[in-house]
Amino acid sequence: GDSVTQMEGPVTLSEEAFLTINCTYTATGYPSLFWYVQYPGEGLQLLLKATKADDKGSNKGFEATYRKETTSFHLEKGSVQVSDSAVYFCALTPRSGAGSYQLTFGKGTKLSVIP
Amino acid sequence: NAGVTQTPKFQVLKTGQSMTLQCAQDMNHEYMSWYRQDPGMGLRLIHYSVGAGITDQGEVPNGYNVSRSTTEDFPLRLLSAAPSQTSVYFCASSKNRGEGYTFGSGTRLTVV
């Protein structure tokens, strides 16, 4: 079945550091790919998405590129802020079939940014 | 625009009790889902619905029941609560499959 693997956390960075959170996936065909963010005590928010190979999703300074050849969707930000401290989830939805109504999540990566 | 509203936010149940977690959305989304979030496990799909009157099981459906009588509401029923159902529950909705889901703020359930 489909699966998502993301780097284990926690990740601790200093403010203004460069962030990369790795995400790779296993799926049939061309799934849609997502990054969600969960701030403490809150639900998940969609951060960015990409629906086809070579698409780049971007939002709030975060970027991720859909790489079909390496089945990856790594999350990057050039300069993190304390307010970026949260848990980040990589997820996919198959393009078709019964499973296309559901998200398959990675286990999440906790990011802490210190001043 | 309220988005996805879940109630209650917190709940403590005794083993064997039943209860219903409420979920409502005001975005006219066809797709709705229930997930549970457990430490180290990520989020796992319990049940989902692709429209009023249509529901199906996800990855971890045992011990839970759902119905979808309207587009707006998608309640999750715990039939006989067990400590293994202690978790944070999220309801989510989507307009279509490729757009991603909008999540509610969650219900933290403890079964003692």
Average pLDDT over residues B75-87: 97
Amino acid A83: pLDDT:
96
Question: Of A88-92, A95-99, B44-48, B74-78, which gets the smallest average pLDDT?
Answer: A95-99
- pLDDT band of residue A95 (cuts 50, 70, 90) is confident
Q: Give the closest-approach CA distance of A13 to chain B in angstroms.
A: 21
- pLDDT band of residue B9 (cuts 50, 70, 90) is very high
Q: What is the pLDDT of residues A14-43, one digit of tens each?
A: 999 999 999 999 998 889 999 999 998 889
End-to-end CA distance of chain A: 41
Average pLDDT over residues B26-37: 95
Average pLDDT over residues A49-74: 96
Residue A99 predicted with pLDDT over 80: no
Q: Give the closest-approach CA distance of A114 to chain B in angstroms.
A: 23
- pLDDT band of residue B1 (cuts 50, 70, 90) is low
CA distance A80 to A112: 10
Average pLDDT over residues A67-75: 96
Which residues in chain A are contacts of B43 at CB distance < 8 A?
Answer: 44, 89, 103, 105
Hey, are the CB atoms on B105 and A100 less than 8 Å from each other?
no
Give the best residue of A6, A88, A102 to mutate against chain B (max B CB count within 10 A). A102
Amino acid B100: pLDDT:
84
Beta-strand ranges (E) seen in A1-115 are 3-6, 11-14, 19-21, 23-26, 32-38, 44-50, 56-59, 62-65, 75-77, 86-93, 104-105, 109-114
Query: Residue B49 pairs with which residues in a beta bridge?
Result: B32, B55
At a CB cut-off of 8 Å and minimum separation 6, what does B29 contact? Answer: B71, B93, B94, B95, B102
Average pLDDT over residues B99-108: 92
Structure tokens at B103: 């999540």
Residue of B nearest to A10 (CA): B40
Average pLDDT, chain A: 93
Average pLDDT over residues B46-63: 94
Residue A98 predicted with pLDDT over 70: no
Hey, are the CB atoms on B98 and A95 less than 8 Å from each other?
yes
Residue A56 predicted with pLDDT over 90: yes
Amino acid A107: pLDDT:
92
Average pLDDT, chain B: 94
Amino acid B42: pLDDT:
85
C-beta separation of A14 from A26 below 8 A? no
Highest mean pLDDT among A32-46, A99-113, B11-25, B27-41: B11-25
